[in-house]
């Protein structure tokens, strides 16, 4: 399964576009749509939106692979997209260790969807941007087919 256009748009909207390198909330150099600048990478002239989208598409592959590897039950496209966004935002480790994943792999789709909404804090306080992102993931998760059902 691959991230849909709708899932990609969620990441782009949630991350926002920045043409020049900036420090993210934890001080990591970042550019484009949330791309963490890797050792040896340099963007002296910044990036345009097309370049940022290409970088994002490449970065998303790691999140797609993590979701595919960690989830042992069937997913709808919306559920997959929501998990890829979650994983892209918070990292594979957080997904791997989460109650969300435990509930999901136990077939408790509704409980897993509710778990998404709990990941809206940073530094012990609710962050509006994270709250909006988790709500958007929840909407992707619950749209279309019933939770636990996959399209044929």
When pLDDT is cut at 50, 70 and 90, the band that residue 151 belongs to is: very low
pLDDT of residue 24: 85
Mean of per-residue pLDDT scores for the chain = 92
Q: Which two tokens stand for residue 119?
A: 């990941």
**Structure confidence by residue, pLDDT tens digits, 66-104:** 999 999 999 999 999 999 999 999 999 999 999 999 999
Question: Which residue's entry shows tokens 């550019």?
Answer: 31
Q: CA-CA distances (angstroms) from residue 89 to 36, 45, 127, 144, 145?
A: 11, 25, 14, 24, 25
Longest dimension (CA), the chain: 48
pLDDT of residue 125: 86
- The predicted model gives 139-146 an average pLDDT of 80
Which of these, 69, 90, 81, lies nearest to 113 by C-alpha position? 81
When pLDDT is cut at 50, 70 and 90, the band that residue 27 belongs to is: confident
Beta carbons within 8 Å of 89's beta carbon, 6+ residues apart: 11, 14, 34, 133
Ordered by start, the domain boundaries in the chain are 5-142
Given the candidates 1.10.530.40, 1.10.645.10, 3.40.50.300, 1.10.3720.10, the CATH classification of the domain at 5-142 is 1.10.530.40
92 is catalytic: no
pLDDT of residue 55: 96
pLDDT of residue 94: 96
pLDDT of residue 152: 33
Q: Dihedrals φ, ψ of 57, to 5°?
A: -55, -40
pLDDT of residue 145: 56
**Structure confidence by residue, pLDDT tens digits, 30-78:** 999 999 999 999 999 999 999 999 999 999 999 999 999 999 999 999 9
- Active-site residue identified among 2, 5, 6, 15: 15
């Amino acid at each position: 399964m691959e991230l849909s256009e709708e899932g990609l748009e969620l990441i782009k909207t949630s991350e926002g576009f920045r043409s020049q390198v900036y420090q993210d909330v934890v001080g990591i150099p970042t550019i484009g749509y949330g791309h963490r600048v890797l050792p040896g990478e340099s963007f002296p002239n910044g990036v345009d939106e097309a370049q940022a989208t290409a970088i994002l598409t490449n970065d998303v592959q790691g999140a797609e692979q993590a979701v595919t590897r960690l989830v042992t039950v069937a997913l709808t496209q919306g559920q997959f997209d929501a998990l890829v966004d979650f994983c892209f935002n918070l990292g594979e480790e957080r997904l791997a260790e989460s109650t969300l994943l435990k509930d999901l792999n136990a077939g408790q789709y509704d409980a897993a969807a509710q778990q998404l909404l709990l990941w809206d804090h940073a530094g012990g306080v609710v962050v509006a941007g994270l709250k909006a992102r988790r709500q958007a993931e929840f909407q992707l998760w619950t749209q279309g087919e019933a939770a636990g059902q996959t399209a044929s």
